[in-house]
Structures are given as C-alpha cells and as structure tokens.
Structure 1
C-alpha cells in the first residue's frame, strides 16, 4: 500500500484546491484591471463637474456684486478674499481659489506674496490670450503640469472679461479615492480567496474520499483478490460518476470470477490431453526422422551425381568456348600474317626502288664531284692568267713612266708622246685593278670550290653507306618473308585441326547434356521426396513442440488459476 500512496503535490485534492485559488486570483486581477481605470475615469469626471459648478457659482457671485458696486471695490483682494477665500474642493488640502485680472495681474491668492504679481501659470496665460483677442472662453476644467505635478483647474471668465476666477487641485489628491477603492478591493479579494480555498479544500475532500475507496478496491483486484470487498457497498451507493465506475468494476469482478472458475475446471482436462498428445507426437517424430534420413542419403547421392554431370558439362562447354576462341584467334592470326606478308612484299618493292634510286643518286653525285674538281682546276688556271696580266700591267706602267720621262726631256716635240704615255699608264693601272678584282673573285671561288669538293666527298661516302644499308635491309626482308610464308602454312594446318576438334566437341556436348538432364531429373525427384519427408518431419516436430508447449501452458494455467482468490 505504501508504494501506491500519492504525494501531497500530486494529489487530486491539492490540484482542486490550487485550481480554485488560481481561478479566484485570475478573476480578481482581471476585475481590478478593468474596474479600477473605470473608477478613476468616473471619479475624475465627477470632480471636474464639481469643480466646474463651484467656480461657476463663485464667478456668478462676483458678477452679481459688480452690478451694485464698482469693479475696483469688488475686485480688491479683501473683497475677493471674502467671496472665494474659502472656496475649495471639499476634503482636498491641495485645492484653493485665486483670481486674475484681464492683464494677467494676480488679484487674489491664498499666498499674499503673489497678489499683485504677474500670473505664472501657462494655462491661465492661454485663457488671458483668448480674452485679449476679444473671445470669452466658456467655463471649463483643464489639466496642466505645474512644479512637476499634474493639476486640475476650473476657471470662470467674468461677463465683462475683466477677471478670471480659477479653482485648482492636485490630480494625485483628486484620484486618491481610487487608491482607497483598490485597497478595499484587495482586502475583499483576500477574504474571497481564503473563503474559496476553504470551500475548495472541503469539496476536494468529498471528491477524493470515494476515489480513494475505489482505488483500494482496484488495488485488491490487482493482487488477484476477487472476493467481495466491504467498501463496494459504499461505492455502489454513490450517484455520481464514481458510483458508475464502482458498479462497473463490481460487475467486471463478478464476470471474472465466473470465467476463472470455468477456466479452472477446463485446465485439468487440457493438461491430461496435452500430455497424451506430447507422447504420441514424440514417437511419430522418431519414425519420420528415420525415413527422412534415408531419403536424404539418396537425395545427396543423386544431387552429387547431378552436380558432377553439370560440372562435366560446364567443363566441356568451356573447352568448346576455348576452341571457338582459338579458331577465331587463328583466323585473325592468319589474316594478320597475310597482311604482314603483303606489307613485306610492298617493303621489298620499295627497297628495290630505293636501291635503284640510290644508285642513280650515287652516279649523279660522282658527276657533280668530277665537275666540281674541273671547275676548281679552271679557277686555278684563271688565277695563273690574272697573275700574268698583273705582271704585264706593272711592266706597262713602268714603260709608260719611262716614256713620260723621255717625253718631258724631248720638250715640245715629245708632248704628243707624253699624252699617249699617260693614257697607257691609265690603262695599265685599270688592268692592274681589274686583275686584282679578278684575283679576289678567283680566290673566293677556289675557296668555295674546295669546300664543295669536300662536301661532295662526304655526300658520296654517305650515299655509299646508305646503299650498303639498303642492300642489307633487302636481305633481311627476304628472310622475314620466308619466315612469314612458313608461319602462314603452319597457321592453316592448325586451323584445320582446330575445326576437327570443334566438331568432336559438339558431339561430346550433346551426349553430356543428355546425361546431365537425366541426372537433374533424378536429383529433382529425390529432392522432392526428401523435401516432403523433411516437411513431414518438421510438421511432426512442430506438433510435438506444440504439445509440449501446450502441456507447459496447461500447467502454468493451473498454477495461475490457483493464485486467484474466488471466495
């Protein structure tokens, strides 16, 4: 019972009491939140109306006295003091009345120091501004801020607009009544809260009491005690939902008692029947197991035979695929060898043509070489001729010089000879210069010719070596061609043998496939028989297991039924 004890904070009684308290608090706060502003507004309007009436009466009294007395007498501080000195808002210490002339001079004020001084209130200055513009403001109540606090002020402007009577009061004091109302409301709310809390606590006790009793009844049922409980009569008398719940629980208890008695009677019969079924199913399971073992051995042999046959078939098919691949590769090899032979023949033709071209090139190089040597020899002969010309030109020059000397000696008779000697000297110098230029050209030609001769020697040697390489290459290609021809003959022979092997492979595959089909049919039939036997064995074992389980369930059912207290 201790473990079913509910803590104070989890108790329904506590929850109901808290629900009542929270509801009252929320209601009170909402009421005060909505009512207090309305009260303040109502009180403010009431005070404004009262202040307006008071200032209106005081102002009318002043106007009435001015009908009989002069304005100076009526508006003197003594006269105004007797009229408005005691005019205030009832029970408000901050309230007082004062009067201001139309030019802003303070006519009367409770503080004598302010009498005769200019008015300081901006709100009153605005009223005086209206008067100066010839407009008489209607009697009203205004609010303004003075010395840091809000004030209410009601004013009255005389009929001749020569004075203004003002009654003022602090807003804080005007609305002080709402604070009293708020405090009284709080007291009332506290009282209601306490009263409702007590009521809620008492109500929760009345609600929780039958719940506790029905909890005891349910706890007794959970302990397998289905005997009649003394508390049930109390619960059945309840008229609320708890009573309905209790009567339903009592009806359920009675039905369970009847049911458990029937179960108790049938559990013994079930225990005996399950024992007999367990014994017979065990014997049947042993017999089926022996049959299954024999069939399984036969099935294993047939399956092994089928697997070996299948393996042989797969190996032969693999061999066939390999033979087919070999045939394809041999055909590809034969085609490639044929292509290589054709390429070799073309290479031989090209080498023959290259050898012929190379021979002609060699002959042409030899001709160029001989011609270059001839040109070189001619250049040397020309050089010898230019040397002779140079020597002749020098001797001619000396002769012309001697002729010029002799002509000079001859005087006037040798002048013509001197002219001829001069021309001969010029020709000798030109010949000498031309011979020198020809010598330079011949020298350059001989140098280039010698280089050409050396180059042609190297080219002739290279052409000779190239010709030898072409001859060697031609011999090598002849050997390759002979090898390719022999390879093609061997490939054709292998292809023929491979074709014969493939035909034999096809015949073997047909035989092995027929053998495999027969082995598979035998294995399938044996496996079906083994599966049927295994299924029968499984069924019998399942029956035996179920019988044993049923026996255990009957035993547990009997033990569980014994736990119920019926009386």
Structure 2
C-alpha cells in the first residue's frame, strides 16, 4: 500500500489497478473455456470408447451364444430321444450342427459309463473341422483317454443347468487358440452326460486386434486369471500374464476389483486411460487403452490460443488506460491550480469549464461553491455588526430580570410548604383504601378459579357424553362387523370346498396330459427325422403336465388347511359375539352414571352465577373508592411538585439570566474577532 501511495502519476495508479483486473478476468475466461472444452472432450472420448467396448462385447457375446446353441441342440435331442437313436444318428446330427456356426471347431456327446448300453462302457462320438472337411471320430472312447475324469467333463457334471466354459488353451497341432463349453444333460433319470462344443477364438482375436484409438491406442482381452487372450503384440497372446508386467500391475488390481470402470496407466513413459468391462458369459476382461496426449491434443492448442488472446487484451488495455489517464490528468491539474487561490482566501478566481463530463460537473460545482462563499462572507460581515449592538441591549435587560426573579422565589416557597402537608394526609388515606382493594382482588381471584374449574367440569361432561355416544356407535358397528365376518368365513368355507373339487379335476387333466405327451413322444420317435422337432414339444408338454400335477397337490393341501382354519375362526367369532354383548350392557350403565353427574354439575353452576353477580358489584364499588382516593392524592402531589418545580425554575431562571449576561460579554468579544477575520477575505 505504501508503494502505491508513493506514486504521483494517476496514469501509473490506473495501470496498477486495471491491469491486474484485466489479467485475472482474461485468465478466468480462458480457464473456464479450457475446462469446459476438456469436459466436453472427455465426454466425447468416453462415449467413443464406450461404443467401441459395447460393440466388441456384443459381438463376442453373440458369438458365444450362437456357439452354445450347438451344445443345447445336441442336449435337447438326447433328452427327447435318449437311447432310441443309434450312434450313427447322433453322428449325422453332430455333423449338421457343427456346420451351422463357422467358428465352431467341433462337438461331442459324452455319456456316463454304460449309460447308452451295457455293452458300451464309453460313449463319445465327436465331430470336428479339418480345413474345409468335417470329420468324425470315436478315438476318445478309450480307457487311456477316460473322458469322465477330464476337467471339462467334471465341470459340466458339477452344474445343474446352463453351461460352463473352460479356460482358453492353445492347440499346437492346429495353431489355434480355442475354448470349450460343457453343457450337462439332465433328464427325469438324473445326470446322463455332457455335450461339448469347441470354439475357435481367432475371429475374436482378429476383431480386438483391429481396434485403434488415435495413433497408439489399442485393445486387449484377458481371461479370469489375467492371461492375454488377444493383444496387438502376438508374442504376448496365451503366453504372458498381465500381473507379470510391472507397469500393468496397478491396472490388474483395478480390473480384478470391479466389473467395469476406468483407470490411469503409464506405459513406456506414455499416459493412457484404460477402460474395461467384464464379459458376462466367461468372466473375461475386455480392455481398451486410450492415449491421453493424442486424444487431448486439441485442449493444448486451445490453451496456447487463450494465452495469446490474454496477452493481446493486456496490451490493448494498457494503451487505452494510458491515453485516457493523460486526458484526465490535464483537466485535474487546471482544477488544482484554481484551488490554490481559494486556499489563500481569494474568491474571485472561478474555474473555466470546457466539458460536460465528471470533470466539467466538478468545475461547475466549484464555481457555485465559490459564489456561495462570497455571499456567505458578505452576510456574516453584516450580521457581526448587528450582533455587537444586540449584546449591549442583552446585558441591560438581564440585570432587571434577575431582581424580579428573587421576589417570586420567596412567594413560591410559602405555597410549597402547605401543599406538602396536604399530600402526606392524602397518601395515608390512599394506603388504607389500597389494602382493602387488595383483599377484594384476592376474593375475586378465588372466585375466578372456581368458575374456571366449573367450566372445565362442564367441558369434560360434554366431551364425556360425546365419547360415550361414539363408544355406543362403535360397539354397534363392531357387532354388525362381527356378524359380517362370521358370514364371510362360512362363505369362504363353501368356496374352499368348490376349489377342492376343481383341484381334483385339474389333477385328472394333468394325468391325461402326461399320458398324451408320452404317446406323442413315442410317435415322434417313430417318425424319425420328421418328428424330431415335435419330440421336443412333447417333452415340454410332459413337464408342464408334471408341474400341473404338483401344483394341484399343493392346492389340495392348502384347501385342507384353509377349511381347518375356517372352522376355528367360526368358533372364535361366536366367543367374540358374547363379549360384544357384555360390552354393550356396560356402555349403557356408564351412560346412566354420566347423566346423574351432569345434573349435579348444573346445580353447582347456578350457585356460581349468584356469587359472580355479588362479586362484580363489590368490585365496581371498590374501584370507584380507589379512583377517588388516587385522584385526590395525585392532585396533592401535583400541587406540591408544581410549587417545588416553580421554585426550582425561578432559581434556574435567575442563574440563566446571570449566565446570559456573562455570555453577552463573551459574544461581544467574538463579534469583534469575526470582523477582523472577514476583512482578510477578498470578495
């Protein structure tokens, strides 16, 4: 602040004030613009990456779903046909299904030992692709391979429904990375076996390898253990785990803790934002690496432009402030020159006004003040002479007033003595009357309390009657509601019997439907390939019939329990009716007691009305006596006080007259000095 005050130039002060404001304003505008632009860009990047992730995710899930349909079709046929089909029939079916999905490498039907026939301990027909050919083999139906002990078979056996996927593995013979889905075959006879379908991951690996964000952005796919399944660097595929890479360990922890999200990663000195999500079917992690410097390069260019604009604004602001301050300083210097004449007492030098801005208005105001000062000095000079003449007259008049005041003071002292004696007598009388009034007020207070209590009792009586009336109505409503509930329970009992009969009819229909479904399955088996689809429908109808039978049995048990509860409820309602009858009798007795209490309360209110009338008359007489006594006392006190005040006023008046005389002498001296000062001004 000291440094600022030492500056004499207005131009410098204006630069010091306005340049920081311009700097802060332009900086704030640039910062807000960059922040908004960065936020918008971040949103666009997240949307772009999100769409890319979603597209890859949906394509992978679609591939896996289509692949699972192969295994589901095999399992569905076996559940419908079972061992009625020959192994050759299943061979033909597998060959047709494998060709339905181009990425399905092979499929097999693997049954529990001796499940297909007592002679065949192993049953595992398998069909697979070899180039453009579809080949069939039974080489896995051996004791050496023993497929019931393999991981994929045990995994399928461990689940009750849906399917399970194995971890991805690399087949060195074909040079293909693949994965196997295992689907259990569950029928009414329990676990029958497992259907497998092998999937070629090459298409998915190629799809992920094609992803590119900017110049260096890419995507990769991890299995549940963190092993690279797909990556732009083929040397890492099925060989490197993400946890083995030092720079990727932080990302590995992040993606293991959440199903989806975003995490920062620094890789080879370059910053990335890693967006990831989890595949629902396999639990694998799909990750997209977005390069931050490439995606946010537009923000850096905006920051540079903002700095250039801010510098240009500061330069232009400095120029405008310098030009304006030069013009302002010129006008102020002329005004300061005229103020020096005013400081010396010369009121004959007005300011020359050339503009109509704030400086021009200030010059006009200065000229008006100068004019007013000249007029004021002239008036003060004339008044000073008149003041000198008046002070002489004031001195003579104050001496005569002092003598008259002494005589009036003696007379007032005698009057004050008599008024004081009268006030003492009146005060004693007023105290006696006040004590009597106090006693009457206490009586009146007790009477008011008695009235309040009577009114409270009356209110309680009315509320009691209202409550009793409501209680009688509620009792009657309760009695009617109880009867309605009793009738409803009897109707529910009849409805339960009707539902029992309907349930028996549903059970019969279910048995017949089950029989029809069985016949349909037999006929479909006889029809062969033409009846394959119909056999699946027949199996579903049989399941629905079994479920209908189960539901019918549950309904019968519920109806039996409902009928037992209804009988118990009827007995309880009969007891409730007896209780409500007793309650009605008690309510009527209470009503009679309330009527007797109400009659007694009316008698008490009559006596209280008489007491209230007498109390009001006594209170009116008391108030009149107290009012008269107080008026008399007040008059006496006012007389005594008035005389005392008059005496004091006379004394003060005498003292004031003496002071006026002294002030007159001082005022005369002041008027003489004022004349000397006015003579110094030039008007």
Q: Which has the higher strand share?
A: 2
Q: TM-score by structure 1 length?
A: 0.38
Larger RCO (alpha carbons 8 Å, 6+ apart): 1
Q: For the pair shown, which has the larger CA radius of gyration, 1 or 2?
A: 1
Q: Which has the higher helix share?
A: 1
Q: TM-score by structure 2 length?
A: 0.32
